[in-house]
Structure 1
Amino acid sequence: MRISARADYAVRAALQLAAAAPTGPLTAEAIASAQAIPHKFLEGILNDMRRGGIVLSQRGLNGGYRLARAPEAISIADVVRVVDGPLVSVQGLRPPELSYDGPAASLLTLWVALRANVREILEGVSLADVVSGSLPEAVAALAADPAAWSNP
């Protein structure tokens, strides 16, 4: 699985908004500066996030962007799906749309299992979890394994 720059930037922008939620909207410029995201690229991402119901935009002197729901109610998966589509795809298709024959027949089961694990992690972690640094135990346990940090 590959996390695109677009998805990474979207999650970072959403986290910045989650951290600022009590103080009001943030401008795209403020988010871009705080997270070192190219401003023009971020504008497109924020528009996708607005259309996808993750953020709301407000015009005017005190305008900017804010989360459309509480940070606890927005998962990392929600943000990634809005900007990149399905969490796991194979050649641009969702696993249930695939079929394999012969020795590759059970490959579909592998892709579905991969998707289930990705969903379990990304749907199980909210913006609030990441901002607070309090990740679910299962996620923390996976990351605690030293092998998780190395590239074979």
Structure 2
Amino acid sequence: MHISAKADYGVRALLELARDSDRPLTCESIAASQEIPFRFLKSVVGDLRRAGLVRSQRGCEGGYWLGRDPAEISLLDVALAVDGELMTLRGDPLPGLAYPGPAAGLPDVWRSVEDGARRILSRTTLASLLAERAPV
């Protein structure tokens, strides 16, 4: 299974926003804090904004905030926002995948892998990740 850089960077950016929700954060500050290439992060944040996961404000007091409560943003939401599909096989979605002969059962295995990943990612929220790292 391949986890895209866009999905990884998107989650990391959202975690920065969730951790410091009192003020907007700039892409520059998020990129520096998470050691993410700035230009790539700008593209990812654009995808997150279009999906409603972040909101933005222009100007010298501007930046980015979370678009929803951290408990309502799952890793699945992020992956779908930036990648469109959770898993593909050579770029093709898994639902219509079919093979002939002895490999006929293989697409069901790939779809089961995707279903398992979907379950894990859908129940893992930004809030749950932040809670795991909270000091005891």
Pairwise TM-score range, normalised by the shorter structure: over 0.9
User: CA–CA distance in 2 between the matches of 1:44 and 1:99?
Assistant: 34
Moved over 4 A (4+): none
Q: TM-score, normalised by structure 2?
A: 0.93
Question: Partner of 1:68 in structure 2?
Answer: 67
User: CA–CA distance in 1 between the matches of 2:113 and 2:93?
Assistant: 12
Coordinate RMSD, CA, aligned? 1.2
For 1:7-22, list aligned pairs within 5 A. Answer: 7-21=7-21
Runs of 5+ in structure 1 lacking a partner? 135-152
User: CA–CA distance in 2 between the matches of 1:37 and 1:99?
Assistant: 38
C-alpha deviation, 1:60, in angstroms? 2.1
Instruction: Tell me which protein shows more helix as a share of its residues.
Output: 1
Aligned with 1:96: secondary structure? coil
Question: Partner of 1:126 in structure 2?
Answer: 125
Q: TM-score, normalised by structure 1?
A: 0.83
The number of residues matched between the two structures is 133
User: CA–CA distance in 2 between the matches of 1:36 and 1:50?
Assistant: 21
- Over the matched positions of the two proteins, sequence identity in percent amounts to 47
User: CA–CA distance in 1 between the matches of 2:9 and 2:41?
Assistant: 7
User: CA–CA distance in 2 between the matches of 1:112 and 1:36?
Assistant: 34
- What letter is aligned with 1:76? L
For 1:1-152, list aligned pairs within 5 A. Answer: 1-21=1-21, 23-133=22-132
User: CA–CA distance in 1 between the matches of 2:108 and 2:102?
Assistant: 13
